Structures are given as C-alpha cells and as structure tokens.
Structure 1
C-alpha cells in the first residue's frame, strides 16, 4: 500500500471518530464515579452575586458503575463454557483461553457497556502459540460493507506511541483478511503532509517475498479482530441514564449546600451602638442582649436574623423518583433492602427481570463474538467442530432448595447432563460427570471386594 492510498483511507475513515472517542471517555469517567458534577463552575463564580451562598459540595453517586458491575457479575462471574463435541478438544480450547479468560469476559462486558462495542484481537506469537487480548475500543475504527448481512471488511487501528526521544506519534494499522499495513505521523502534524511508513514488522519482513518492514502477511483467512457489541444497536449503557444521574447529583449536592449554609445565622443590625462586631458577638454570648442606638421615633433600629428555608419534602420526593427512574431506565436491580424473605424462584426472577432483559441483548451479540473466537482457535489447532454449544450461567440470588427439588424430580425425564448443568451446586457439568463416574467405579470395586471376602468366608465355613 502506497502513502497516497493510505492517506485517503485514513482521512476517510477517521472522520467523525473524535465524537465516538468523546462519548466513550465520558462513559469511562462516569464508570469511575467522575461525574459532571465534579467539573461544574466554581462556587465563587456561581455565587459571586449571592454572598449567602458559600458551600460548594459536589457529591457524585456512582449509579452507572453499579449498573455496569451488576451486569458484568450477573453474566460473567461464571463465564460461558464451550463444547465442540469432544472432551479432548474442549480441553484444548480451555487451555488456549487460559486462566485469564474469566477476567477477560468481565472486561469485555464493562468495555462494551461503556463504548457500545468491545474488541478482541488475536495473533500467533513467535512460538506459534495462539494468543488474544482486549483492544481499547477507542482505538478501533471498523469498516463494514453495505450489504444487509453486514460483514467486516477491514479494521483501522489508531493509537499513540512515544519514542525514545519523547516524541508522540500517531500510529495507524490497517488490517485486512490477508495482511496489515502500518504508518505513522507526529501528533502535531497533519496526515495529508507528514504520513510515513512505520516499520513495526521489521523482524517479519521477507525480502524474497517482497514484503515491506511496515507490512505483515498472515494466514488467518479472516480479519483477526472480533467485535463484541453491547446490544443490537451498539449503544453504551450510559446513554439512557446520564441525564437522570446528573439530576440526582445536582439535587443531592444542592441539598447538602443548603444544609451547610443554613447552619450560619445571619444577623441584620440597624443603628448598632457598639465599637465592632466582636463586641456584638461578646455581648450576645455573655449578656444575651445587644446595645442599639435610637435616633428618633420613626427609626428602624433593631436586630433581625436571616435564615434559608429548605423544601425538604419536595427534594426527598424528587430524589426518590430519580433513583427509581435510574434503575428502571438502566435496567438494573435496586440494592435498597427489600423484604423478600423465603421468596420463590418466580419472585426472585421478577426482581432480576429488567437486568435479564439487558443481559439477554448482550448475550445474543456476544454469542456471535465468542463463536468467531472459538472457531479461530480451532482453525489454528486443527480441530474440526462438529457442533459448537455455548453454555451461559447467570449469577443471581436464587432459591437453591427449589432448584435442587426441580432437578431431583426431573431424573428420568431429561438427560443427566442437563440436570447437572442446571443443578445449583454444580459449576462444571463435565467435571461433575467425571467425579460421578469415579465414585461409581470406587463403589463397584468396594462391592466386588466385599463379595469376594463373603464368598471366601462362606467357602471356608462349608469346608469345615
């Protein structure tokens, strides 16, 4: 790829990406409880014309972080399991995903919730080992075709790098289903003038095949980036609740400011007959009286106090309404104490109904992403997939006694494998099957030993 073509591609596809980055940064900031209330105008500027207002409380509430963590824990505390029809192949896939797989699942959920879509990049390292990692979605610009069945044509990855001299460079990687090209420019320069090749593939360059130091050819047969959309329209979870969270923060912080300001009683003095205000405060404390000077019958000499009235009931009502709306719009579970007692499974499912709807939308999209990732692993490992089955487990408050009873009553009606997968005490149905088989073997061995000993004793008695 020549420089001119690269410039055209980069300028075409980076247009509008700044807005995507801004939106993602805002969601990530709210996830860390850095809400807009913390960055409003300084109180001294806002209250310059109102000397009665001096408090400047800024109290953010991390409703958004709670909702995102709820979804991540609900869906991925027990990460999805994969079955390709062979125990040996399943073990190879599990080993390839590695111990970090569960953490990666939660990170994918959080990143997709913040940015609307998360991305996994996979590659083969210098030891020809399959590896994968989560890429910051702000770096990825996907290029889709215009067909109804949308297909990924290429991926443009844009990120920054600081060289040994302290200069900041913008790096551009353009990935297709056969190769990758890399380019760079100084952060302060324009693409049109200063784009140059970035020799990041120097070790892979092959003079015989004609590959350049900024070119990498791969044999995946597909673009090694897997999309994980948050939902069917690729929107983040903050979109539905940001205005509500900002309203709650504003009302709550304003309430705290009023309570702080009202603690100070403001005295209004007219014709005070004293030397200074310190003397006035001393007289109030010691004598409970104040000396005032009258200048006639029609003067207005006197002492008054000024306080601030706070509409407590209206604010409490607004805070309650806003909190309820946040969990409804955010499709989460309000953690405020509720008296469920020994609730049935139906009542507990109702509690999680909105969260389940949101999780279902994500699961539908994530199933496609995990399917692409597992097939990429199988292609590299030479595994033939008969059927790819994904088992998803939710982590929620449940009535274990009720679930265990249902499993017990289902024996003989459905397969034992299905019962094991749905039993509340079983985390991995395959491992549980192995344990059950081992226990049966031990019981059979003990039974044979007992029979042998009994027969031996019977034979000895008969002979005697």
Structure 2
C-alpha cells in the first residue's frame, strides 16, 4: 500500500512523517535498541537504583543508606564473543568471473571487513543494523552504518524484505548567535529521491538550508558528472540479528538485572552488618540517619530499655552458600538463554576435546546461524548497489553470482588438530589438510611457501667440481 498517496490519505507527507517518528519514539522496539546499547556499555539499570526510607509513610531518597550498584558486563561479553566468532576472520568472496570479482572487491574496499563487525555489534545490540550506500563528492562508492534508533523503515511487505521508504532523523547542535540549540534533522528516502526536513515547534517542515545549498538541490540520490541519478531502490540495507529483528538483550535482560540486584544487595549487607552489632541498653533511640551513621562508623546502636544499662552482642551471618548457588544458577541461565559460552576453567578443563568444544559452542553456533543467514541476504542486496555503481562508472558487470563465506573463528584443541592433519596424509588432498591446520592463515600463501622450500631443498649443498 502506498501510504503517501494523498488521493487516499488526506494527511500531508509532513504530517505522516511526524506520525511515524512519534510512534517509533514511543515504541518498545526503539526502547530495546537503546537498552541493548546501554547494557553493551555496561550501563545497566542497577546504576540508577535509589535507596529509600519512609517518613510519614511517604518514600524519600536515603543518601546515607549503603547503595552498592554492581553492573556486570554479560551483554558486552556475549556480543563480543558472537561477533568475533562469526565476523572477526576475513570473509571470502567467490565468483566464476575473476575480473568481475576483483572489481567488486575494489569497490567494497579493504575496510569493509571492519564495517561488517560494526554491523554485527549493532544488530546484536539493537535487533537490526542499517547500512547506507552513497557516492561521495569524488565519485567513490561508500557505505556508512547508521544508528538503528535513527531509522524508521516503511516496508512494502510483512516479511520486511522490501523497503517502500525510510525516514532517518537525528539531532545536531547549532548556534543561533551565541545561543546553542538542538535541531532535529529529518531525511525521507524513497527509491528515486531524498527529501530534507527539520522539526520546528513540533512540526515537520522543509529544511530550507538544504535546498539553498546547490550541492543538494537535485532530484535524485547522487550526482555523476553533474547529472542527477538514483539507485532505483531505497539506499539502506537491513542487516538483521534474526528473523524477528530482536536484540540479544531481549532474552536475558531480567536475568542480568536480578544478578546485578542480588550481588549488590549482598555487598550492601556485608558493608552494613560488619558481622557484629553492639546493643547499648539504657540509651535513647535515634532517628534512622543517626542509626545508620552510628552502625557504620561505631559498629553499635542505642536502644531504650527498662533494665539496667548494659551491652549485648548480636552476631549476624549471611548464608553465603545459598547466595553463591543463586549466583551460579543465574550465571548459567544467562549463558544458556543468551546462547553463549562460559569459558570458566572448571567448565572447560585443561585440555578439552574437540567433541566437548563443539558441544559447548553449539548454542553460539545456532545464534550465529540466524545472523549469518540474514547477513548473507543483506550482502545480496549490497551487491545490487555495487553492480549499479559499476554500471554508472562503466566498469565490468557480470551475471555470475558472488557468494560470501563467513569464516568462523572456531575454538579447537590445537594439538589434536595437528595430529588429525598428520593422520589424514594420503587420505585427502594436501590442500585440504593445509587449510585445516591450525597454524595456517592463508592457504595459497602456505602452499606457495612449501613449493619454494621444496625447490630450495633440491639444490646441492656444495658446488660440484
């Protein structure tokens, strides 16, 4: 459905853009995006916890109360493990047309490997990552990762595979005289054009500055030889974390929050209790703030008593074993439901077998499979834009398919892998054995080096007379 067809919808384009932005700002999806990035930065909810007391049956913040706020970086560890496992090793591109393949590699550039890892982190934290393709002022093909919380996709289909349009909005700082203010810029991208707006007094209006600038005043996505052109598609590519576009935090947030909370509470108890409390009989009571101050500093409290003044001792204990069991269970749940790998030494052992490692990495493999399938689909969309750029710049384009292979950084028992390679001699090809040797990074270079050394060894040690 063409939602901007004014013959059907009496709202203006600007009004509909504002509706989409307002709905996205209030959505659970955008909130989870921001939460995912916060937890990746270890800015967990526990850091905002306030301790309260009651005065006249009303809660007030108690600054004197012990308030340890222990934020644990589970999200950071799980996301980095996943991205490094799937995307840290150089990807491989294959195609039957070598000349075309080289042109694609040159167009993407050497930095695209780094861009993939950035997209992997963004998608893991926010459920979806967006790659914007464009042609820069010098005519070069470029890509740029756009923060997902800035992008409002308008899909043509329920499967979220084809874009009708995309709204990007973001804040910038500008100066009006000596006064600094925040301005919300808005871009509305279609398959043919891009329109520029700003948010002013809660209304979406055309950005006059962009249209006064001659560089941006054209009907299309880019200029080539001063002629306007378009990609004929919305130039944004979705790199999805999974089919449901859910961030990794969705599955473990409550577990991390409880881990943070209980660890912080135990830390508070250890700091407050000090194991022994002295009770002074015959002394007047104190208000709560004095009570906490005396307990923390003097390690004693004053109470009213009809009996003769004296000192009693109250020894308190914390069930550390029960607390530890709860923490370990929570930690196991976080790694199980987060599909991560707990690399604690007592879990792995000193020399885990290949079978044990494959079992431990099975959850991570399943999680990476979902991302890999979606990233391969996104790469196919990227190749469309690369081909379009090659056509524009009069470079060779082929109908041969280009495939991308993500080379996972698989954990192995290195000694066992070397023995397996040695035992495979004569059963499979030498090239396959070399490719699976844990010390080899570049198979072709290794084969070339072996051939050089083999020729060198054939030479005589001394000149024959």
Q: Shared fold by TM > 0.5? A: yes
Q: How many angstroms does 1:120 deviate by?
A: 0.6
- For structure 1, which segment, 198-207 or 70-79, has the greater mean C-alpha deviation from structure 2 after superposition? 198-207
**Aligned mates of 2:340, 2:351 — CA distance in 1:** 22
**SS of 2:248's equivalent?**
coil
2:372 corresponds to 1:360 = no
2:382 corresponds to 1:373 = yes
| 1:154-212 Cα shifts (integer Å, max 9, x gaps) | 111111222342332222211122211111123xx122xx51234436334568x7999
Aligned length: 420
CA distance 1:206–1:227, shift in 2 (3 Å)? closer
The answer to whether the 8 Å contact 2:172/2:185 transfers is: yes
CA distance 1:107–1:164, shift in 2 (3 Å)? same
2:32 corresponds to 1:32 = no
**Aligned mates of 2:309, 2:205 — CA distance in 1:** 79
Select 1:190's aligned residue among 202, 205, 208.
Answer: 202
Query: Which residue of structure 1 lines up, in the alignment, with residue 313 of structure 2?
Result: 305
**Aligned mates of 2:33, 2:95 — CA distance in 1:** 36
Q: How many angstroms does 1:151 deviate by?
A: 1.7
**Aligned mates of 1:127, 1:45 — CA distance in 2:** 66
**SS of 2:331's equivalent?**
helix
Select 1:249's aligned residue among 260, 265, 287.
Answer: 260
2:404 corresponds to 1:390 = yes
Query: Which residue of structure 2 lines up, in the alignment, with residue 275 of structure 1?
Result: none
Q: How does 1:140-179 map to 2 (within 5 A)?
A: 140-146=151-157, 150-165=161-176, 166-179=180-193
Q: How does 1:116-131 map to 2 (within 5 A)?
A: 116-131=127-142
Query: Which residue of structure 2 lines up, in the alignment, with residue 67 of structure 1?
Result: 78
Highest Rg: 1 or 2? 1
Q: How many angstroms does 1:340 deviate by?
A: 3.0
**Aligned mates of 2:357, 2:163 — CA distance in 1:** 40
Q: How many angstroms does 1:99 deviate by?
A: 3.5
Q: How many angstroms does 1:348 deviate by?
A: 1.1
Question: TM-score if structure 1 supplies the norm length?
Answer: 0.79
**SS of 2:318's equivalent?**
coil
**SS of 1:71's equivalent?**
helix
**Aligned mates of 2:60, 2:155 — CA distance in 1:** 55
Of Structure 1 and Structure 2, the greater strand share is in: 2
CA-atom RMSD in angstroms: 3.7
Q: How does 1:366-445 map to 2 (within 5 A)?
A: 366-381=375-390, 382-404=396-418, 406=420, 421-429=435-443, 431-432=444-445, 436-437=447-448, 440=451
Which runs of 5 or more structure 1 residues have no equivalent in the other structure? 273-280, 286-293, 458-464
2:16 corresponds to 1:5 = no
Query: Which residue of structure 2 lines up, in the alignment, with residue 351 of structure 1?
Result: 360
CA distance 1:373–1:414, shift in 2 (3 Å)? farther
Select 2:241's aligned residue among 220, 230, 240.
Answer: 230
Select 2:326's aligned residue among 318, 328, 335.
Answer: 318
Query: Which residue of structure 1 lines up, in the alignment, with residue 393 of structure 2?
Result: none
**Aligned mates of 1:419, 1:387 — CA distance in 2:** 28
**SS of 2:149's equivalent?**
helix
**Aligned mates of 2:331, 2:282 — CA distance in 1:** 50
Query: Which residue of structure 2 lines up, in the alignment, with residue 41 of structure 1?
Result: 50
